[in-house]
């Protein structure tokens, strides 16, 4: 039997429209015809169906086991088997027996089954392509357009046909999401589900800030400036520790840019988030001092007998700045450095701490 030129043309069109390989399309049709034949013959045995990719010729074969005598269902005599498969066929070998049958004779139910198989196979293939494409992009920066923001659900469009979800916990507090608006996102995760790949994006992940810095600052792109750590309270404040691989390059200046232009561009992308760029240091006490920027502290001391705990002394006029609104500045500094930080006034060296942060995590 042979597929019509119109049918072949339709298969070729599917290849172009859905971005699937020709092999996926043809193998889907072969699987559908095989299942349709099984239903038509009411057999449990799987046939073999092949389609010539050029001519459209369809071949259907029953698989039968060669026996020396008295062949039963699913079997064939050794003599017949050798006629089909050659003299090397031995008892127990499987041979393909051609079936002379046109699909039109399969019947309505078999034809419906074939359509269902083709549809499902194509859906599965499309889902696998989407999953593989975006699974390779986890951790990347993506630009997507918001197309639904209602009933506490925010969905974004990646490309022409792919959708991603922005969960509530991955949204910047107070940020608005307007359909049709394009934003930059961090591709957080891709999971296979019964309804296809579930792509998850984030606006709060520290990786988003890292990717924006890499995009905006040439010195980070070429390796002259290295990012040593990032912590964020998304939409409010972030701290970025940087170091230079060349003594003549100021890492903070490179990131901030002339008149703060570079860091302002990144801040604008993050709903006005304030970004403190500080110099990383191998000396943890120096690093803590830098991390409390923009506050200027006078001294940092490690607390004896307490692991990774430091006392910081700041002038009275710098105390509130060092602690930050609701303790935000010292909290971020602690997370960035990995140390517990206690803030004290310089005038009251022995007084109880005024503000503290716990360095429980680092991004």
205-280: which CATH number, 3.40.50.1110, 3.30.300.20, 3.40.50.10490, 3.40.1480.10?
3.30.300.20
Say if residue 363's pLDDT is above 60.
no
pLDDT of residue 114: 65
Say if residue 119's pLDDT is above 70.
yes
pLDDT of residue 120: 81
Please report which helix (H) or strand (E) contains residue 37, including its range: helix 22-41
DSSP state of 139: T
Prior bond of 294 cis (ω within 30°): yes
Say if residue 353's pLDDT is above 60.
no
pLDDT of residue 31: 85
CATH superfamily, region 5-134: NusA, N-terminal domain (3.30.1480.10)
pLDDT of residue 118: 74
pLDDT of residue 104: 60
Q: Is 46 helix (H, G, I), strand (E, B) or coil?
A: coil
Tens of pLDDT, residues 296-316: 999 999 999 999 999 999 999
Least confident span in 23-32, 62-71, 153-162, 280-289: 23-32
Q: How far out from the chain centre does Cα 264 lie?
A: 28
Query: Tokens for 76?
Result: 């064939």
pLDDT of residue 38: 80
Least confident span in 217-221, 270-274, 353-357: 353-357
Average pLDDT over residues 126-131: 87
Tens of pLDDT, residues 12-50: 777 777 677 778 878 888 888 888 778 777 766 778 888
Least confident span in 1-5, 30-34, 242-246, 295-299: 1-5
For the chain, the average pLDDT equals: 88
Unique residue bearing structure tokens 């912590």:
231
pLDDT of residue 342: 95
Strands across the sheet with 355-357, in order? 299-302, 309-314, 340-345, 355-357
Task: Note the helical H segments in 247-296.
Answer: 251-256, 261-269, 284-291
Higher pLDDT pick, 209 / 124 = 209
Unique residue bearing structure tokens 């499987």:
94
Average pLDDT over residues 185-195: 93
pLDDT of residue 23: 82
What topology is assigned to 282-363 in CATH? GMP Synthetase; Chain A, domain 3 (3.30.300)
* Sequence spans of domains, the chain: 5-134, 137-202, 205-280, 282-363
Higher pLDDT pick, 124 / 320 = 320
Of the pLDDT bands very low, low, confident and very high (cuts 50, 70, 90), residue 102 is: low
pLDDT of residue 108: 64
Q: Give pairs for 118-123: CB < 8 Å, separation 24+.
A: 118/28, 118/29, 118/32, 121/24, 121/27, 121/28, 121/31, 121/32, 122/14, 122/18, 122/20, 122/24, 122/25, 122/28, 123/196
**HEC assignment per residue over 167-209:** CHHHCCCCCCCCCCCEEEEEEEEEEEECCEEEEEEECCCHHHH
pLDDT of residue 352: 47
Instruction: Select from 168, 150, 166, 153 the least CA-distant residue to 198.
Output: 166
Q: At what angle do helices 316-323 and 328-337 cross, to 10 degrees?
A: 70
Domains 5-134 and 137-202 share a fold: no
Task: Note the helical H segments in 42-166.
Answer: 78-85, 108-135
pLDDT of residue 347: 63
Of the pLDDT bands very low, low, confident and very high (cuts 50, 70, 90), residue 105 is: low
Higher pLDDT pick, 123 / 19 = 123
CATH superfamily, region 137-202: Nucleic acid-binding proteins (2.40.50.140)
User: What percentage of the chain carries pLDDT values higher than 70?
Assistant: 89
pLDDT of residue 361: 57
Torsion sign across C-alpha atoms 311, 314, 319, 321: negative
Residue 98 near residue 60, CB atoms below 8 Å: yes
Unique residue bearing structure tokens 């001519």:
55
**Residue ranges with strand state E in the chain:** 48-51, 58-67, 75-77, 94-99, 141-150, 153-158, 162-165, 182-193, 196-202, 225-233, 237-244, 274-279, 299-302, 309-314, 340-345, 355-357
């Amino acid at each position: 039997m042979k597929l019509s030129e119109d049918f072949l043309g339709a298969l070729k069109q599917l290849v172009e429209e859905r971005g699937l390989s020709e092999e996926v399309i043809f193998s889907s049709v072969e699987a559908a015809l095989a299942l349709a034949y099984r239903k038509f013959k009411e057999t449990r045995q799987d046939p073999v169906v092949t389609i010539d990719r050029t001519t459209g010729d369809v071949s259907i074969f029953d698989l039968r086991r060669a026996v020396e005598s008295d062949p039963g269902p699913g079997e064939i005599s050794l003599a017949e088997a050798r006629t089909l498969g050659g003299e090397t066929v031995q008892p127990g070998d499987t041979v393909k027996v051609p079936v002379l049958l046109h699909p039109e004779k399969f019947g309505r139910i078999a034809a419906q089954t074939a359509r269902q198989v083709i549809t499902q196979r194509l859906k599965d293939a499309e889902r696998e392509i989407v999953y593989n494409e975006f699974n390779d992009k986890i951790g990347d920066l993506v630009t997507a357009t918001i197309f639904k923001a209602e009933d506490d659900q925010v969905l974004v469009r990646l490309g022409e046909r792919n959708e991603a979800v922005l969960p509530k916990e991955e949204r910047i507090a107070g940020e608005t999401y307007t359909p049709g608006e394009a934003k930059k996102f961090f591709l957080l995760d891709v999971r296979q589900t019964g309804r296809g790949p579930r792509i998850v994006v984030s606006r709060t992940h520290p990786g988003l800030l890292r990717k924006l810095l890499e995009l905006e600052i040439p010195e980070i792109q070429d390796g002259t400036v290295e990012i040593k750590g990032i912590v964020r309270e998304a939409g409010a404040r972030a701290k970025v520790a940087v170091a230079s691989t060349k003594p003549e390059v100021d890492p903070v200046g490179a990131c901030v840019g002339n008149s703060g232009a570079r860091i302002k561009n990144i801040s604008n992308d993050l709903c006005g988030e304030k970004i403190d760029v500080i110099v990383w240091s191998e000396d943890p006490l120096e690093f803590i001092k830098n991390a409390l920027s923009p506050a200027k502290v006078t001294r940092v001391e490690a607390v004896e007998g307490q692991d990774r705990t430091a006392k910081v002394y700041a002038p009275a006029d710098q105390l509130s700045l060092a602690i930050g609104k609701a303790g935000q500045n010292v909290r971020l500094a602690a997370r960035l450095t990995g140390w517990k930080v206690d803030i004290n006034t310089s005038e009251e060296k022995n007084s109880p701490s005024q503000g503290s942060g716990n360095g429980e995590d680092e991004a």
